[in-house]
């Protein structure tokens, strides 16, 4: 392999966009993705908020983004990245689980994050068919329907309130007798007539039919009594872990592990850029991911130019 200019870690929308721009910029780049390119797009049934597509299947958008990147010469490899290290020469070493090692002066990490799953029967089966981890992405599919939101933190309570603009009724289910969410967020949700809070309940399993989810089965965490809710949607907000741990050197992040960047998407480590869901920002959508990646890829070009001309140390 010839000398690399850039290593892109992660093959979701941000990574694919970064690879496309790297190709357009004539950079020698490689994109490392542990599975089929597309990231969370592959777990999303339909997308209706990406400009230019009134409605498109997540897997179809992933395929189009992949082909677009390849047309500009993207080198996409199925590699599971295990770590990113800053080197004494200022560049980076990226290692993978099959023993490969890559070196480049710049890295864009777009490895996203992982929503915490309930870990119950039916969750995987109905993912994209009623089970969702993103209210903004999928809320509009449940107009006039009855849905459930699982969780008790800010995200769960805020999204339950948000989802009432679409759903006729929202059950907000929490395994304890009080929320962890901030008081102002709680007050807004509790005063919403479309929201019914169900306390002290945990999800046992999810059942339905071939076309989608029909029932959330619950167990009382105090009495053990079981019950069932008829719903067509179940939104899970019990946590999200950004994959920022791949960076093995100290890098600035917030209390939950999201990477802090400047306006060029560069982290506190010179030459290491971040884009997409693992970066500190207000919202995490396909559109914001590709916007981040566009900025990051163009910033990499300038960073490399500055390195060659001696502007940067």
Q: Which residues are catalytic?
A: 134, 137-138
Residues in the chain: 313
Cβ-based burial of 234 (10 A; exposed 0-12, middle 13-18, buried ≥19): buried
Where residue 52 falls (left for φ over 0; alpha for ψ -120 to 50; beta otherwise) is left
Q: Please, which residues have CB within 8 angstroms of residue 298's CB and are 6 or more apart in sequence? A: 21, 25
CB-count burial class (<10 Å; 0-12, 13-18, 19+) for 206: buried
DSSP per-residue codes, 186-225? HHHHHT-TTEEEE-SEEEEEEEEETTEEEEEEEEETTT--
Tokens 């566009």 -> residue: 294
Q: Are strands 131-132 and 233-236 parallel, antiparallel or unpaired?
A: parallel
DSSP category for residue 111: -
CA 20 to chain centre: 20
Q: Which two tokens stand for residue 208?
A: 């339905």
Q: How many CA atoms lie within 13 A of 46 on its CB side?
A: 11
Residue with tokens 């890559």: 102
SS3 label, residue 58: helix
What single-letter DSSP state applies at residue 181? S
Contact of 286 with 64, CB cutoff 8 Å: no
Give residues with Cβ within 8 angstroms of 162, minimum separation 6. 135, 136, 139
Task: For the chain, report the end-to-end CA distance as a whole number of angstroms.
Answer: 26
């Amino acid at each position: 392999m010839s000398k690399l200019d850039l290593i892109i870690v992660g093959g979701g929308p941000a990574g694919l966009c970064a690879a496309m721009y790297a190709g357009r910029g004539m950079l020698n780049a490689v994109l490392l993705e542990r599975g089929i390119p597309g990231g969370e797009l592959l777990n999303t049934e339909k997308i209706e908020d990406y400009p230019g597509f009134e409605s498109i299947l997540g897997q179809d958008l992933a395929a189009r983004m992949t082909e677009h990147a390849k047309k500009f010469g993207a080198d996409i490899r199925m590699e599971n990245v295990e770590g990113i290290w800053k080197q004494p020469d200022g560049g980076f070493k990226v290692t993978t689980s099959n023993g490969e090692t890559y070196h480049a002066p710049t890295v864009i990490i777009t490895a996203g994050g992982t929503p915490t799953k309930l870990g119950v029967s039916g969750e995987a089966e109905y993912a994209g068919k009623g089970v969702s981890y993103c209210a903004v992405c999928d809320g509009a599919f449940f107009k006039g329907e009855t849905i459930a939101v699982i969780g008790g933190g800010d995200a769960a309570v805020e999204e339950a309130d948000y989802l009432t603009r679409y759903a006729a009724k929202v059950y907000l289910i929490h395994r304890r007798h009080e929320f962890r969410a901030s008081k102002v967020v709680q007050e807004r949700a509790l005063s919403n007539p479309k929201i019914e809070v169900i306390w002290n309940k945990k999800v046992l399993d999810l059942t339905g039919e071939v076309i989608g989810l029909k029932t959330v089965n619950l167990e009382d965490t105090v009495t053990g009594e079981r019950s069932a809710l008829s719903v067509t949607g179940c939104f899970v907000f019990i946590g999200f872990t950004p994959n920022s741990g791949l960076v093995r050197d100290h890098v600035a992040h917030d209390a939950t592990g999201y990477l802090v960047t400047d306006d060029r998407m560069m982290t506190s480590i010179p030459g290491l850029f971040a884009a997409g869901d693992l970066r500190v920002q207000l919202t995490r959508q396909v559109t914001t991911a590709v916007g981040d990646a566009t900025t990051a890829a163009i910033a990499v070009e300038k960073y490399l130019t500055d390195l060659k001309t001696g502007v940067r140390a």
